[in-house]
């Protein structure tokens, strides 16, 4: 029998951070993972450079059915704490737009740093381990009637309650069990619904998961119409589900991608329209008015071709309108130009799904977990951290910051 104080399932960003902190406190910690390597998503993140945090992190950068939940962890382990760790390891990094911090050289440096910290803290790491099932072994003092109260839950966990795990490497016992198995994105990298199944086993609610930070696919007729635009990238303002982001939109051969699209995908629900302003911060009517004073015979497409890629202009407006001289544009035509350039609306057919998504929306109900300790309010000794929870960050280093912060906080209590 392998006996530990703490077993963490999932050697990703959150699990490794939690293990380091628990190990530093002198707890006997093992991290179990079914994958062949630890931290696969860290290694491939940020195009191989890992956007490990952001200079500007606030609860407003996260989605959750409980928007207050992230506040405690984010304020106790901040981006500055992680940056200090990165600097202690002399990992060179740089800032990109919107405060995003990336490694200069390789994401592997972040992973190596976490593994080194874990080794120093005496953490064991056991990969290629399949967890077959988990039993909750209640201590004599455990009283389910009072377990909703968190202090009682902590007390009960200390009263010899614990967990028995049957795995492909034999049985393991622990007092504290941390579920850090992440979300469902990129199934080829070891993602699994394991965390959700465990929550369900213990009667903990799970908000239905769906792909986030993900490109949109188009409906067949739009895909055909917009296929010639594949490869075009435009700085635009994109709005969906009541939230707008200004960044690049990229046309792909299947749909729409680019940072602005990934950001709004977090807020989008199936069937909703997405609205795009192709000239954010400008007023196309004013531009036309000014130009037509001097060049009344200039065709609309000549003017718009100076503002946007010609292929995009051709797809947005009918040819007859584009060939109209500026001086002859009617009020109705002005309106059409304004509508198509500032309020272009499209209803995606769906998303590219978990195959390409960076994160998973939904997950374990935050109301069932203490925002301070990350311990279940009903099952003493059971903790949930990282992306497996119903917390989804924006693009820009926010998802890792959540993983570090929630892992760090749980590490103080397990
Ligand atoms: P994470 O997914 O990191 O780890 C979960 C671990 O659990 C994995 O090691 C997995 O093998 C293991 N596991 C799963 N099921 C198991 C089971 N049944 N048994 C045992 N082990 C199991 N974020 C960001 O802030 N900046 C960025 O640059 C990027 N870039 C990025 C690129 C790509 C391609 C993706 C897919 C994602 C990102 N992200 C990101 C998101 C970020 O990677 C993600 O939010 C964090 O890794 C979540 O950390 P967790 O530790 O919660 O899960």
85 C-alpha vs ligand 1 centroid, how far in Å?
20
386 C-alpha vs ligand 1 centroid, how far in Å?
8
The span from the CA of 414 to the CA of 397, in Å, is: 26
190 lines ligand 1 (CB under 6 A): yes
User: Six-digit token pair at 234?
Assistant: 């435009």
The span from the CA of 337 to the CA of 339, in Å, is: 5
191 close to 155: Cβ distance less than 8 angstroms: no
34 lines ligand 1 (CB under 6 A): yes
44 lines ligand 1 (CB under 6 A): yes
* Nearest residue (CA) to ligand 1, atom 11: 190
235 C-alpha vs ligand 1 centroid, how far in Å?
29
386 lines ligand 1 (CB under 6 A): yes
Q: In angstroms, what CA-CA distances link 354 with 33, 160, 254, 258?
A: 20, 40, 15, 16
232 C-alpha vs ligand 1 centroid, how far in Å?
30
The span from the CA of 21 to the CA of 27, in Å, is: 9
Residues 6+ apart with CB under 8 A from 260: 236, 237, 238, 245, 246, 247, 248, 249
Please report the atom of ligand 1 found closest to the CA of residue 194: 18
b/e map 293-310, b = 16+ CB within 10 Å: eeeeeebbbbbbbeebbe
212 lines ligand 1 (CB under 6 A): no
114 C-alpha vs ligand 1 centroid, how far in Å?
14
361 lines ligand 1 (CB under 6 A): no
37 close to 411: Cβ distance less than 8 angstroms: no
255 lines ligand 1 (CB under 6 A): no
Per-residue confidence in pLDDT tens, the chain, 414 aa: 799 999 999 999 999 999 999 999 999 999 999 999 999 999 999 999 999 999 999 999 999 999 999 999 999 999 999 999 999 999 999 999 999 999 999 999 999 999 999 999 999 999 999 999 999 987 644 444 434 444 444 444 444 579 999 999 999 999 999 999 999 999 888 899 999 999 999 999 999 999 999 999 999 999 999 999 999 999 999 999 999 999 999 999 999 999 999 999 999 999 999 999 999 999 999 999 999 999 999 999 999 999 999 999 999 999 999 999 999 999 999 999 999 999 999 999 999 999 999 999 999 999 999 999 999 999 999 999 999 999 999 999 999 999 999 999 999 999
Annotate 162-198 with three-state secondary structure.
EEEEEECCEEEEEEEEEECCCCCCCHHHCCCCHHHHH
390 lines ligand 1 (CB under 6 A): no
19 lines ligand 1 (CB under 6 A): no
211 lines ligand 1 (CB under 6 A): no
User: Six-digit token pair at 15?
Assistant: 């699990």
pTM: 0.94
363 lines ligand 1 (CB under 6 A): no
227 lines ligand 1 (CB under 6 A): no
């Amino acid at each position: 029998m392998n006996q530990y104080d703490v077993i963490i399932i999932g050697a990703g960003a959150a699990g490794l951070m939690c293990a380091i902190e628990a190990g530093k406190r002198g707890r006997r910690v093992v991290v179990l993972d079914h994958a062949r390597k630890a931290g696969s998503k860290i290694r491939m993140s940020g195009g191989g450079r890992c956007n490990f945090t952001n200079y500007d992190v606030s609860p407003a950068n996260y989605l959750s059915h409980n928007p207050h939940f992230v506040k405690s962890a984010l304020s106790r382990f901040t981006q500055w704490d992680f940056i200090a760790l990165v600097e202690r390891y002399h990992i060179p990094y740089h800032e990109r737009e919107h405060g995003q911090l990336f490694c200069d050289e390789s994401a592997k440096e972040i992973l190596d740093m976490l593994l080194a910290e874990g080794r120093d803290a005496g953490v064991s790491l056991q990969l290629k381990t399949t967890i077959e099932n988990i039993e909750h072994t209640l201590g004599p003092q455990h009283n389910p009637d009072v377990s909703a109260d968190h202090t009682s839950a902590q007390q009960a966990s200390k009263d010899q309650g614990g967990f028995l795990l049957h795995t492909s490497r034999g049985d393991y016992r622990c007092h504290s069990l941390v579920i850090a198995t992440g979300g469902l994105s990129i199934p080829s990298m070891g993602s699994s619904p394991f965390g959700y199944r465990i929550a369900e086993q213990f009667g903990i609610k799970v908000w239905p998961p769906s792909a986030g930070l993900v490109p949109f696919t188009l409906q067949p007729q739009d895909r055909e119409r917009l296929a010639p635009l594949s490869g075009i990238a435009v700085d635009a303002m994109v709005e969906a589900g009541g939230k707008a982001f200004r960044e690049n939109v990229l046309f792909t051969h299947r749909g729409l991608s680019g940072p602005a699209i990934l950001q709004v995908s977090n807020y989008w629900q199936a069937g909703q329209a997405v609205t795009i302003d192709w000239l954010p911060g400008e007023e196309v009517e004013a531009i036309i008015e000014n130009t037509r004073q001097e060049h009344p015979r200039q065709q609309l497409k000549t003017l718009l071709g100076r503002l946007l890629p010609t292929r995009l202009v051709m797809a947005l407006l009918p040819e007859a309108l584009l060939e109209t001289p500026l001086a002859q544009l009617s009020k109705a035509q002005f309106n059409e130009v304004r509508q198509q350039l500032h309020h272009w609306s499209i209803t995606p057919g769906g998303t590219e799904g978990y195959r390409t998504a960076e994160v998973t929306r939904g997950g374990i109900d935050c109301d069932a977990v203490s925002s301070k300790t990350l311990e279940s309010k009903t099952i003493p000794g059971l903790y949930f951290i990282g992306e497996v929870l119903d917390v989804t960050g924006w693009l820009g280093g926010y998802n890792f910051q959540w993983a570090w912060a929630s892992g760090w906080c749980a590490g103080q209590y397990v």
